Amino acid sequence: MDERLKAYDEKMEKAVDFLVSDYAGIRAGRANPHVLDKIRVDYYGTPTPLQSVGNITVPEPRMIQIAPWEKSMIKEIEKAIMTSDLGINPNNDGSVIRLIFPELTEERRKELVKDIKKKGEDAKVAIRNIRRDGNDALKKLGKSSEVSEDEIKDLEDKLQKVTDKYIKDVDKLIEDKSKEIMTV
């Protein structure tokens, strides 16, 4: 790949990676520990990732179990889960916290698919914005007359191919995640 396009390729890849991590946090009726990735617990005054204050396991398909390393953290972990947008009430037995995931209703599945499509569209917009920035930079490069018009046209075509590749990746992610959500 041309060095002048490498930065735009990397930015587009980051947009796709962000979408992948975003999708990991969307629950599909099965317990997925990644839904807890964004939750921060107040650990002695410092917002700390939930994974750093306890052991997270999935003992059953629809349950996540959190075993805090310090028993005193149970209340803080529960508070962090309650204030998050997870929408699940934690249960605790004094030593571990359990999150039980209910089966998703058909209506909720359709809402999630809409959300998935919207996030996918946002990623495509980000990728197209990166392409636009790249094309603007190429036009400036052409005006400085260091590079021939043919070479600029060639670079623009290459940038478009890179853009198409990442848009196709996003479409595949949208399709896969939607299928996962709609599978009962």
Cα 60 to Cα 58: distance, rounded to the nearest angstrom:
6
Q: What is the DSSP letter of 62?
A: T
Backbone torsions φ then ψ of 174, nearest 5 degrees = -60, -50
Q: Which domains are present in the chain?
A: 3-24+105-182 (1.10.132.20), 33-100 (3.30.1360.40)
Cα 160 to Cα 23: distance, rounded to the nearest angstrom:
26
First-to-last C-alpha distance (Å) of the chain: 43
**Amino acid (1-letter code) at residue 155:** L
pLDDT (tens place) for every residue of the chain, 184 residues total: 678 889 999 999 999 999 988 887 776 667 778 878 888 888 888 888 888 888 988 888 888 898 998 888 888 888 888 888 777 888 888 889 898 887 878 888 888 899 999 999 999 999 999 999 999 988 888 887 777 888 888 989 999 999 999 999 999 999 998 988 887 6
